[in-house]
Amino acid sequence: MEREKLEKLLEIACFAPSAKNNQPWHWTVVENPADVKRMAGMVIDWMRSVIKKYPQQAEERGLPRVVEAWDGGQERICRGAPHVIVVHGDKDYVLGAEDSATALSYLELYAPTLDLGSCWGGYFFSAVNAYPPLFEALDLPADHKAFGAAMVGYPKLRYQRLPLRKQARINWI
């Protein structure tokens, strides 16, 4: 994928609103697909440690089935995406998660206009802050925390419509 498309995604993401217009986000882009796969393996290493230490929690989060799939040759961490984008910032900033989620939402909403697919990387993001080898591999500053991650690439499938949504739950006063 052309770097220009990734840069455009991040440019648009930075138009997201943030508390006091602080714009706290920093971005780390894993551009090389081989690095994405290597880091997905690090997520699996983290999952194995969670399974061993907290088996009940691991089961509730579905970690054993993801590890089993990996061992069987199926990559369910980044699902073959060629790129991962991690949003991070000052670990002490109280609204980092909210502001970063908004920016990632802008990124995800804009991606189809560039013929790109994106998906939030929940397992990847969870591992970044919990597994020091992955945090270090991403070369994040020590005083930062990851607030989210998205996988980005060209989609294999094109949908004709959005998946069905629940009706809005509204209380009019």
CA distance 40 to 164: 30
Q: 159 pLDDT exceeds 80?
A: no
Within-domain flag for 70:
yes
CATH number, domain with residue 117: 3.40.109.10
CA 46 to each of CA 10, 12, 27, 129, 171: distance values in angstroms, whole numbers, following the listed order: 28, 32, 22, 11, 42
Q: Hey, which bits of the chain come out as E strands?
A: 26-30, 83-90, 117-120, 144-153
Angle between helices 33-53 and 122-130 (to 10 degrees): 70
Within-domain flag for 164:
no
- State the pTM of this model: 0.92
Say which amino acid occupies 22. Answer: N
Within-domain flag for 63:
yes
Within-domain flag for 173:
no
Domain count, the chain: 1
CA distance 4 to 17: 23
Within-domain flag for 171:
no
pLDDT tens digits, 104-138: 999 999 999 999 999 999 999 999 999 999 999 99
pLDDT tens digits, 162-173: 778 899 999 899
- Range of 27's domain? 3-153
Q: 51 pLDDT exceeds 90?
A: yes
Within-domain flag for 170:
no
CA distance 48 to 46: 5
Per-chain mean pLDDT for the chain: 95
Give the model's pLDDT for residue 161.
74
Within-domain flag for 167:
no
Within-domain flag for 97:
yes
Contact 58, 110 (CB under 8 A): no
